[in-house]
Amino acid sequence: MRFKIKSSGIERKQLKENLKEVTKNLKEVKESKEYSLNLKKEKELTITKARLKNEYDNLKRMINFKALANEFHTSKKYMNLVKTYRGDFVSAIETDGGDKLLSLLREAHLYNATISFQMSQIKEMKHALFDKEATLQKDMLVPLLLEIKKVEFDSSAIQKQKEQESVMRDKLLATKNDIILSIRDELAEISVVLKIGELV
């Protein structure tokens, strides 16, 4: 048992050194120009996504869904499309690029230059968003943070193992003492005197 506890002490020391090194690497990454540039790109991406959402909201407000429903109320197929666009506008547009909606609007004579312009704005913003996402590096801190969590978990596991081994050692010692006392009592019955230190 003693060997395991010693080895877990060595492992804990190694884990502390690993944690120190990973923390140092984390600090270096946070202070790098590459990381700060990546953070700036992430902020721009967030702003672009918010603007895109506003553009979708503007387009949805431009579309007269009540007039579309009145126009296509007799066609189950078209009414399902109108309901889909009205219910989850962004997902529906992203699924087909808005082509089915444009087709419905044209057929109902509700398509106009303002809607056309808004659709082209959304497409341009989507392309810009894709370009920004392509140049964005994955968060460089994630692997380092995961490594820190792993080291902390391993350290905790070693500590628990050490505690379990200590409890087991205490139980074995107690059992050993009980056995020695039992042997001493049995030997005393046959008139043999045994000192505790003789069996240890």
| Domain presence at residue 162 | no
| Domain presence at residue 180 | no
Whole-angstrom distance, CA of residue 117 vs CA of residue 55: 11
Average confidence (pLDDT) over 34-59: 88
| Count of domains for the chain | 1
Indicate if the pLDDT at residue 139 is higher than 90: no
Between these two residues, 11 and 1, which has the higher pLDDT value? 11
- Which pLDDT score, from 0 to 100, does residue 64 have? 92
| Domain presence at residue 147 | no
- Which pLDDT score, from 0 to 100, does residue 157 have? 73
| Domain presence at residue 70 | yes
Whole-angstrom distance, CA of residue 176 vs CA of residue 199: 10
Indicate if the pLDDT at residue 170 is higher than 80: yes
Structural domain boundaries, residue 131: 31-137
The pLDDT tens digits for 94-124 are 888 888 888 899 999 998 999 989 988 998 8
